[in-house]
Amino acid sequence: MKEKILKLKQEVLGRLESCQSLSELQEIENIFFGRKGKISSIMRGIKNLSLAEKKVFGKLANETKKELDEFLQNTKTRLLQTNKQGREEIDSTLPGQRPKIGTLHPHTQMILDLNEAFLSLGFEVYEGPEISSEAYAFDNLNFPPSHPARESMDTYWLASSENKKGKDRLCLRPHLTGGSVRYMQTHRPPYRFVYPGRVFRSEATDASHERCFYQYEALIVDREVPFSAGRVMVNTILQRVFGREIKTRMRSGFFPFVEPGFEIDMQCLVCGGKGCSVCKRTGWVEMMPGGPPHPNVLRAAGVNPKEWHGFYINIGLDRLVMMKYGIDDIRLFHLGDLRFLRQF
Amino acid sequence: MRISLNWLKDYIDLPKVTAKKLAHDLTMSTVEVEAVIDQAKAYENMVVGKIKIIKSHPNADRLRIVMTEIGEEVKQIVCGGENLYEGMLVAVALPGAKVRWHGQGDLVTLEKTKIRGVESFGMICASTEIGLGDIYPNSEKEILDISFCKKKPGTPLAKALGLNDIVIEIDNKSLTNRPDLWSHQGIARELAAIYKAELKDVPRSPILTTKPNQELDIKIKSDKCRAYLGLVVNNLEIKPSPAWMQARLIAVGLRPINNIVDLTNYVMLDVGEPMHAFDYENVGNKIIVRLAKSGEILKTLDGEDRCLKSEDLIIANETKPIALAGIKGGFKSGVQADTKKVIIEAANFDSLCIRKTSARLNIRTDASMRHEKSLDLERPLLGMSRFVFLLKQIAPSVEISKMVCLGKLKTPSVSVKVSLDFINKRLGKDLTKKEVKDILARLGFKVADQGKIFNIKVPAWRATGDISIPEDIVEEVGRIYGYDNLGMQPLKYQIEKAVFQPQLIWQNKIKLFLSHSAGLNEVYSYPWADDRMLGILGINKNNLIQISNPPAANLAYLQNSLLPNLLLKIEYNNKFFPEFGLFEMANVFENSFVKKNVKQIDRLPYQSKNLLFTVVGEGNDIYFKGKGILEALFSYLKLSDWKYKENSSCKFLDQDQRSIVTGDKAIGYLGSLKKEIVDKLDLKSNKLKIVLVELNLDKLLLNFSPQLNYQLLPQFPSVVRDLAFELNKDVTWQTVYDLIVVASNLIQKVEFLSVYDLGEKKSLAVRIEYAAKDRTLTSEEVAVIEKNIIKLVEQKLKGNLRG
């Protein structure tokens, strides 16, 4: 028995000494040290010996086991240390195991970002109906009865109401601004809200024109709203989209539903304002209309224009997203191509 | 619209700023300038040359060697022109100039070169080679003779020919509300206001008026014509208009034709009144302004027959229409080469009437663009008196008749009352009374200071609908003061409570979960469905809303489910990917009306927000992947009050379809697309499985208040045991679950582990967790329950425990 123990001891010590890797060590551990390992089987063998033999060999076996356990630990420490200095055993350049994550449409991402910015300014988020009527799309917004946009060239009218007028002539909303009147009709001033949504225009599509596109509208109505309120809203949007402050300017423009009307430009991102082909050498890119809602619009919304006035802006989201990522074809947004969507 | 800076100088001494700055200032305050064009740029390195000696070319019969004086020097130039003579003034393009060889192809930069062995320093040009073919037509092999300009050799060509203008191009769209700006005088007025410069008067001639008479008999027979002024010019000689006038017309993009036509165009661009000239011999002495008869034909100037409607306003003589009023002249009723006598027209027509006819017949002219913008009633007389002034200048020998003048010549006056405080509050600025009055006066407003308020009389040219309310006055002051000079004021408002919009929050959470946790990709679709998909799905178009002018014939119906368009996206992506998942959240539409909102005036069709998601792939587990996402979503939303219900109402779904019920409302479906429908799709694989979940979010989120009650953590350890049963194939998981879960109140959880096919039978493995609230369970206790479960399965389900 004693020989058996000593022989095993020599064998284990020898193998531990010559062991060069943690995986080899693991193997040695399994063969000798595990529950079903050779050391354990010797220990179990001692149980069957006579009492006297147990005394002698039991002690020896225990001491040997202790010694070997200690040596195992030392070997492990030795290997870990050399391992640190030497070559790694795993290839850490292999790719990590990523959880499977999908994507949100780039427009959704931008809308969520912008909503968050405006929520922090105490604005509500509004969503109006997509099917609207001529009354909201045009009449309420101070469009003259003969305005060309009312003709079918621009607006999708619904069958069975196309020969009616005003509230009975239904359409797919050609812009969001009509919906803003709905919001005002159903809430009490003052107002602060943003309104993201898709709108529809009957036109030929190409890389920069869509029949179904997205707008982001912001409206503030209070007792005292200077024109620069528009700038605050515009700057909020552009800063959130582009991650830094962008220079803007407001200049004279004309839209029936605002008085006065503004065209709001941002400094060209491509040339930084120096003038290039993108900005037609002006250094500025036209971004959106804006202005205080026309008194007739406020009246249509049931708001007294003598008491309240405001400022409105409306920006095209598609173009913002395209500028942000350098996308060159607006039609990609509705194509649903995963090779496109998975990039965002 | 193009505006010539040289022309503007008739009305304003332009400030000493660059054209670019001027364009910028005009853009900021008035209208958008799209481009600044320096006319002289095209004539760089071109000068006037004088031909001194013409010699024959030693190596070419058709070429000449021409010694040409260009200032101090005489240069040798090889030229093939046949009309050269000594002493002739010619346009010489020097090396570096850009020319178009023989008037064709791209511009080429000239270099000093040898032609058939003889050195040539530049080129003597034909008009077409330097872009002047329109103004100075010449035949082939003919060199442009500019002896008429009488300029010294060496003079830059642009200067010699008056081609040194700078032109600004204005975006017409930014001018739609400003009829007063469609002329040089109008733009000059704006610039005078912006730069605080003096606006000069329009030089014009007084004209005596007369009643309709034998020589010119005019009748207005429609109220769509509000004013009509006519006079007769006799003893005319039709010839080219003077060079200065041609130069200006060319600068703004018009081709000179003859003195009378040019003059009518010139006056329109000068003061904004479209003028027209009729050939007296051709038209006769009678002018009748009337509505067309339905079906009446008018051959317009371009030779096309136009079929008229009774809403079209025309100018006619006794027998036939001779012009489409305010839009275009009739064929051969205008000025001809041998015309001696003309009738000159200046009129005011109803803007809407002109717009409608012009749009219907698709004829847009410089005249119609102006008439459709509500010109003021004082403009016809301004135009006519300006015309007569210029006519006397360019053709002093003509006879001009008295003017027949019908209709109204004064625009009804408009006044606006507004306070200084009103203006300042909107601008966010403290302007003084003087500053405000000064700006308005420069724009032609007459301001009466009545203490607290200004009573402001709007000038006629702004009083046709453009300016009528106090806000309009704020705009005038603001834009001329300069919006950029207003500075920034902080937003001021009181916040009473935080914004709380739970529906929106839930919607966003759902989107985030489906994309970021469930691994689906969000798509956006159009609201209109493709007929092909409606057909495949068997959706009845009667339930759908139809667009009367759809994007395409097959896209006329609005979706009442997000499915038709999602299937298109599945087809598309299957070309590239064998397995994927998509979702969309968007509105769907139904052909039925909802109750009218009492505060809103219209009644709208039912539009609800739907959520549709799909998992697509070939494996057997696709259905369970989709089902799992739905269950995980509800658990993420902490929604517990929901269940599946047997369903067979969706004709496009397989037998595995379930309706999804919250509370007692069905809010959507889960199911696989039927194989026979999948087969009709254009897919790469015929083994594809498509599982769908569509929910009505409005119904789901109405009064949505999910709750979660925390469960006490177990005080005593639980025991987990797995059991596998051999069962008949028709025994469902649900029956097994329902049986086991109530077998003992010590059972805490019953989980599905796996199922697989044993041929005749199937094997189903479950994991059961046992625990008691008051003690640690012994293995004997668990064994008793286990035995009971096995017995139940044997008795009720005819199943056996697998060894």
Q: How many CB atoms lie within 10 A of CB B545?
A: 26
Q: Which candidate from B516, B569, B599 shows the least CB-CB separation from A336?
A: B569
Q: What's the pTM value of the predicted model, to 2 decimals? A: 0.80
Quote the minimal CA–CA distance from A90 to chain B in Å: 29
pLDDT value of position A25: 83
Please indicate if any CB of chain B lies within 8 Å of the CB of A135: yes
CA B61 to chain centre: 59
CB contact under 8 A, B493 and A333: no
Q: Which candidate from B487, B499, B587 shows the least CB-CB separation from A122?
A: B499
pLDDT value of position A39: 83
pLDDT value of position A256: 87
In chain B, residues with a C-beta closer than 8 Å to the C-beta of A335 are 572
CB contact under 8 A, A227 and B483: yes
Chosen from A247, A318, A338 to mutate, greatest number of chain B CBs within 10 A: A338
**CB contact at 8 A, B778 and B747:** no
B109-155: pLDDT as tens digits: 988 888 888 899 999 999 888 888 877 777 777 899 988 888 899 99
B247-297: pLDDT as tens digits: 899 899 898 899 999 999 999 999 999 999 999 999 999 999 999 999 999
Give the pairing type, strands B747-757 and B414-419. Answer: unpaired
Helix (H) or strand (E) holding B381: helix B379-394
> Which stretches does DSSP call E strand in chain A?
124-125, 131-133, 170-172, 191-200, 212-222, 248-253, 261-267, 284-291, 309-316
Q: Which candidate from A200, A220, A336 shows the least CB-CB separation from B523?
A: A336
Q: Which candidate from B30, B490, B525 shows the least CB-CB separation from A334?
A: B525
Separation in Å, CA B207 to CA B38, B230, B389, B404? 38, 11, 10, 10
pLDDT value of position A86: 54
Cα–Cα dist A267/B689, whole Å: 50
Our CA angle for A325, A326, A327, nearest 5°, is 95
Please indicate if any CB of chain A lies within 8 Å of the CB of B507: no
Task: Return residues 218-257 of A near B (CB < 8 Å).
Answer: 220, 222, 224-229, 231-232, 249-254
Task: Return residues 309-368 of B near A (CB < 8 Å).
Answer: 352, 355-356, 359
Q: Of the candidates A313, A306, A307, A309, which has an alpha carbon nearest to the alpha carbon of residue A291?
A: A313
**Helix, strand or coil, per DSSP, at residue A225:** coil
In chain B, residues with a C-beta closer than 8 Å to the C-beta of A198 are 524
B579-614: pLDDT as tens digits: 999 999 999 999 988 887 778 889 999 999 999 999
Quote the minimal CA–CA distance from A30 to chain B in Å: 29
Cα–Cα dist A196/A123, whole Å: 13
pLDDT value of position B692: 97
DSSP code per residue over B641-703? SEEEEE----TTB-TT-EEEEETTEEEEEEEEBPHHHHTTS--S-TT-EEEEEEEEHHHHHTT
Quote the minimal CA–CA distance from A248 to chain B in Å: 10
**CB contact at 8 A, A245 and A239:** yes
Cα–Cα dist B219/B227, whole Å: 11
Quote the minimal CA–CA distance from B783 to chain A in Å: 29
pLDDT value of position A87: 58
Task: Return residues 256-285 of A near B (CB < 8 Å).
Answer: 259-263, 280, 282
Chosen from A191, A227, A298, A318 to mutate, greatest number of chain B CBs within 10 A: A227
Cα–Cα dist A193/A219, whole Å: 6
Cα–Cα dist A310/A221, whole Å: 4
Q: Of the candidates B63, B337, B6, B52, which has an alpha carbon nearest to the alpha carbon of residue B184?
A: B6
In chain A, residues with a C-beta closer than 8 Å to the C-beta of B425 are 224, 226
Mean predicted lDDT score pLDDT of chain B: 92
**Helix, strand or coil, per DSSP, at residue B89:** strand
pLDDT value of position A44: 80
The owner of tokens 């004309």 is A254
CB contact under 8 A, B28 and A252: yes
B396: left (phi over 0), alpha (psi -120 to 50) or beta: alpha
Chosen from B173, B187, B471, B472 to mutate, greatest number of chain A CBs within 10 A: B471
Please indicate if any CB of chain B lies within 8 Å of the CB of A16: no
**Helix, strand or coil, per DSSP, at residue B446:** strand
**CB contact at 8 A, B54 and B76:** no
Residue type, B177: N
pLDDT value of position B556: 96
- The total number of residues shown for chain B amounts to 803
DSSP code, position B466: T
pLDDT value of position A270: 83
Cα–Cα dist B341/B233, whole Å: 6
CB contact under 8 A, B523 and A341: yes
Q: Of the candidates A114, A56, A163, which has an alpha carbon nearest to the alpha carbon of residue A314?
A: A114
- Which pair of structure tokens corresponds to residue B606? 């039912």
Helix (H) or strand (E) holding B79: strand B73-79
Q: Which candidate from A152, A334, A341 shows the least CB-CB separation from B549?
A: A152
CB contact under 8 A, A222 and B486: no
Give the pairing type, strands B118-120 and B328-329. Answer: unpaired
Task: Return residues 283-322 of A near B (CB < 8 Å).
Answer: 286, 292, 294-295, 302, 309
Q: Is B211 exposed, middle or buried (0-12, 13-18, 19+ CB in 10 A)?
A: exposed
Q: Which candidate from A146, A182, A342 shows the least CB-CB separation from B521?
A: A342
DSSP code per residue over B552-606? SGGG-EE-SSSHHHHHHHHHHHHTT-SSEEEEEEEEEEEEEEPPPPTTSS---EE
Please indicate if any CB of chain B lies within 8 Å of the CB of A162: yes
Task: Return residues 169-208 of B near A (CB < 8 Å).
Answer: 174, 176-178
Q: Of the candidates A170, A171, A173, A166, which has an alpha carbon nearest to the alpha carbon of residue A128?
A: A173
In chain A, residues with a C-beta closer than 8 Å to the C-beta of B599 are 185-186, 302
Cα–Cα dist B560/B558, whole Å: 7
**CB contact at 8 A, A162 and A169:** yes
Quote the minimal CA–CA distance from B469 to chain A in Å: 9
Residues 6+ apart with CB under 8 A from B200: B10, B11, B12, B188
Question: In this predicted complex, what is the ipTM?
Answer: 0.80
CA B45 to chain centre: 41
Task: Locate all alpha helices (DSSP H) within B228-365, ordered by sequence.
Answer: 243-251, 259-271, 280-283, 351-360
B536-557: pLDDT as tens digits: 999 999 999 999 999 999 999 9
Q: Which candidate from B177, B489, B602 shows the least CB-CB separation from A254?
A: B177
Q: Which candidate from A103, A170, A227 shows the least CB-CB separation from B521?
A: A103
Cα–Cα dist A64/A69, whole Å: 8
Dihedral angle of Cα B473, B479, B483, B484, to the nearest 10 degrees: -160
Cα–Cα dist B467/B475, whole Å: 10
Q: Which candidate from B177, B517, B548 shows the least CB-CB separation from A162?
A: B548
Q: Which candidate from A131, A186, A280 shows the least CB-CB separation from B604?
A: A131
DSSP helix, strand, coil percent of chain B (3-state; round to 5): 30, 30, 40
Separation in Å, CA B708 to CA B503, B507, B512, B663? 18, 19, 20, 16
In chain A, residues with a C-beta closer than 8 Å to the C-beta of B486 are 226-228
Quote the minimal CA–CA distance from A8 to chain B in Å: 41
pLDDT value of position B67: 93
**Helix, strand or coil, per DSSP, at residue B710:** coil
DSSP code, position A342: T
Assign 3-class secondary structure to B491-515: CCCCCCCCCCCHHHHHHHHHHHHHH
Q: Which candidate from B428, B493, B581 shows the least CB-CB separation from A226?
A: B428
Helix axes B379-394, B259-271, angle to 10 degrees: 140
Rounded to an integer, the average pLDDT of B369-379 is 94
DSSP helix, strand, coil percent of chain A (3-state; round to 5): 45, 20, 40
**CB contact at 8 A, B287 and B217:** yes
- Reported as a pLDDT band with limits 50, 70 and 90, residue B231 is very high
CB contact under 8 A, B356 and A146: yes
Please indicate if any CB of chain B lies within 8 Å of the CB of A209: no
Quote the minimal CA–CA distance from B526 to chain A in Å: 7
B732-779: pLDDT as tens digits: 999 999 999 999 999 999 999 999 899 899 999 999 999 999 999 999
Q: With the C-alpha atoms ordered B27, B32, B35, B38, is the resulting torsion angle positive or negative? A: negative
B714-732: pLDDT as tens digits: 899 999 999 999 999 999 9
CB contact under 8 A, B527 and A341: no
Q: With the C-alpha atoms ordered B54, B60, B63, B69, is the resulting torsion angle positive or negative? A: negative
B380-391: pLDDT as tens digits: 999 999 999 999
CB contact under 8 A, A341 and B602: no
Residues 6+ apart with CB under 8 A from B310: B291, B292, B293, B294
pLDDT value of position B66: 93
Separation in Å, CA B567 to CA A102, A341, B562, B660? 19, 17, 9, 21
**CB contact at 8 A, B201 and B306:** no
Please indicate if any CB of chain A lies within 8 Å of the CB of B520: yes
- Reported as a pLDDT band with limits 50, 70 and 90, residue B575 is very high
Q: With the C-alpha atoms ordered B663, B667, B670, B676, is the resulting torsion angle positive or negative? A: positive
Q: Identify the segments of chain A with pLDDT beneath 70.
A: 83-88, 148-149, 151-153
CB contact under 8 A, B521 and A102: yes
pLDDT value of position A292: 94
Q: Of the candidates B491, B470, B494, which has an alpha carbon nearest to the alpha carbon of residue B428?
A: B491
Q: Of the candidates B586, B613, B606, B615, which has an alpha carbon nearest to the alpha carbon of residue B507?
A: B586
